[in-house]
Amino acid sequence: MARKRVAILISGRGSNMTALIEAAKDPSYPADIALVFSNRPDAAGLARARAAGITTAIVDHTQFSGDREGFERILDETLLAAHIDIVCLAGFMRLLTPWFVGRWTNRMLNIHPALLPAFKGLDTHARARATGVKIHGATVHFVVPEMDSGPIVVQGAVPVRDDDTEETLAARVLAIEHRIYPLALRLVAENRVRVVDGRCMIHDAVAKPGSFIVPEI
Ligand code: GRF
């Protein structure tokens, strides 16, 4: 099967982007990172992408004051010109309109640093600590118009320790993010994920140990 062409959309440091780039270096990985796109010219991840030899594109959203769709039309054209099959949001800090999301239904993934549907939005680690949950983690899901919702592809869980600070908890979650995003993209690129009634059915999931990541205490 031909490798799927993937665009990663970033706004910042791009550590999840780097995890995907590293995974795609394996010739047996079913996806190729064809493009890294940023809405911020100063995103640190851009230099990391260029160093890895990946084409980058920048469209500064501040140039489109109030015209969200104008920005997204250029983004969409950029993706089409690069023959992109799958879009991965990786710390992309722009809300996307229903129009753009609809163009990429079941072909656009996002990673969120919490076990959805818990802790949608920002400051997830501080809220997890404050709430006293014992298990926290990260979720890769298909993007739907509602923020931090959409069919869940993979989740990874980590323990919350009594002596955790927001920073130590964030670091533990980030490490699991870097494991589950390449796994989720692999499943989608291999056409093993079917969305049925808002849920992801993973073909052959049980037969592959390691597909599900659970806390190590
Ligand atoms: C990650 O925690 C991700 O879950 C969230 O934004 C952060 C991006 O970090 N959506 P990085 O840019 O991938 O390092």
Catalytic annotation, residues: 112
Instruction: State the distance from the centre of ligand 1 to the C-alpha of 78, rounded, in angstroms.
Output: 23
pLDDT for the residue numbered 204 = 77
pLDDT for the residue numbered 1 = 81
CA distance 101 to 141: 13
Q: Whose CA is nearest to atom 10 of ligand 1?
A: 91
pLDDT of 212 over the 60 cut: no
Task: Give strand ranges (E) for the chain.
Answer: 4-10, 31-38, 56-58, 86-89, 108-112, 135-142, 152-159, 193-196, 199-202
The answer to whether 1-104 and 111-217 have equal CATH topology is yes
Please report, for the chain, the start and end positions of each structural domain, with discontinuous segments joined by +. Answer: 1-104, 111-217
Instruction: State the distance from the centre of ligand 1 to the C-alpha of 118, rounded, in angstroms.
Output: 17
Residue 149 · residue 181 · CB < 8 Å: no
Query: pTM for the whole thing?
Result: 0.95
User: Largest alpha-carbon pair distance within the chain?
Assistant: 50
Q: Whose CA is nearest to atom 8 of ligand 1?
A: 91
Cα–Cα distances (Å) from 172 to 137, 159, 177, 201, 206, in that order, read 8, 9, 9, 27, 26
What is the pLDDT confidence band of residue 214, given thresholds at 50, 70 and 90? low
Can you identify the CATH homologous superfamily of domain 111-217?
A: Formyl transferase, N-terminal domain (3.40.50.170)
pLDDT for the residue numbered 203 = 86
Residue 137 · residue 115 · CB < 8 Å: yes
Q: Which residues line ligand 1 (CB under 6 A)?
A: 10, 12-17, 90-91, 111-113, 138, 174, 177
H-helix or E-strand containing 189?
helix 166-189
Q: State which fold the 1-104 domain adopts.
A: Rossmann fold (3.40.50)
